[in-house]
Amino acid sequence: MEIAGYLAAVLIGASLGLIGGGGSILTVPVFVYLLHVHPVLATTYSLFVVGSCSLVGGARAYSKKLIDFHVVVSFGLPSLLSVFLVRRYILPAIPDRLFAIGDLVITKGIFLMVLFALLMLVAAVSMIRSAETAPAPAMYKERTRGLLLQGLLIGAITGLLGAGGGFLIIPALVLISRLPMKIAVGSSLTIMAISSFFGFFSTLSHYTINWGQLLVFTAIAVGGIFMGTALSDKIPGQQLKRGFGWFVLATGLFILVHELLFT
């Protein structure tokens, strides 16, 4: 299973390079189910892996002028605030055992994974349903206000779940801020790099990190991102959007079924 986990690291990097998200969705389940890392620690590992891959992908997007820096600043600053507050105060305050439903005991780990899956399903349906539409540009003030609110919300989710947030950032940027898919991908990667590294290093002292495992996994994932970015140059934005939606939907259903029926 450990070999399978490291092989999955290639797919994580490739998905980030290809669609600007999805890597964080895969990283937490891979650490939990294949590398047997506790879900709470897996969210911390995920922040480092996704941050590293996003930094590489964001640099490549910058070289192609596929980043909207107004979006990065307006979305990223409130996101950093939310990440810090959630990782420093809210996540440690959640008890290890929450409640029981019959024989099913809902632990902190199960709660985080189920919440993760439900958010993925919502994002997936939004992306799939809107894949055929081309929304009109948003007004500047409306766009800025929306970005601030989105940044606060998705930053909180990033801090809680250890996900870079690409699976939520991209739908938000495409559906609400009206960005073209490929610019949304580049902007998402930049936001994810900033927020993920901030979330990881701001609470690093709370966890014992297996640096050998984490750095090897990250190096493999970074290699995979070059595969994804090369493929993204050859695939139209609308196809990326639709494929991303179905990918998120399938992964969310798997996590939900596994946590509620097989844990």
Question: Within 13 Å of residue 171, how many CA atoms lie on the same side as its CB?
Answer: 23
For residues 184-193, give the mean pLDDT: 86
Helix (H, G, I), strand (E, B) or coil at 101: strand
> Using CA atoms, how far apart are residues 184 and 67, in angstroms rounded to an integer?
7
pLDDT of residue 212: 93
pTM strictly above 0.75: no
CA 197 to each of CA 37, 135, 145, 192: distance values in angstroms, whole numbers, following the listed order: 20, 32, 25, 8
How far apart are the C-alpha atoms of 37 and 25, rounded to whole Å? 15
Bridge partners, residue 106, by sequence: 99
Provide the residue range defining the domain that includes 201: 2-261
| Structural domains of the chain, count | 1
pLDDT, position 134: 46
Cα–Cα distance between 87 and 122 in angstroms, integer? 23
* Strand (E) or helix (H) holding 161: helix 140-161
**16 has which bridge partners?**
none
Write the pLDDT tens digit of every residue in 70-97.
888 888 889 888 888 888 888 888 888 8
Q: What is the pLDDT of residues 196-244, one digit of tens each?
A: 898 888 878 878 899 999 999 999 999 888 887 777 777 766 676 677 7
- The answer to whether the beta carbons of residues 167 and 248 sit under 8 Å apart is yes
Q: What is the pLDDT of residues 36-55, one digit of tens each?
A: 998 888 888 988 998 898 88
pLDDT for the residue numbered 217: 95
Q: Please tell me the distance from the alpha carbon of residue 113 to that of residue 260, in angstroms, as a whole number.
A: 10
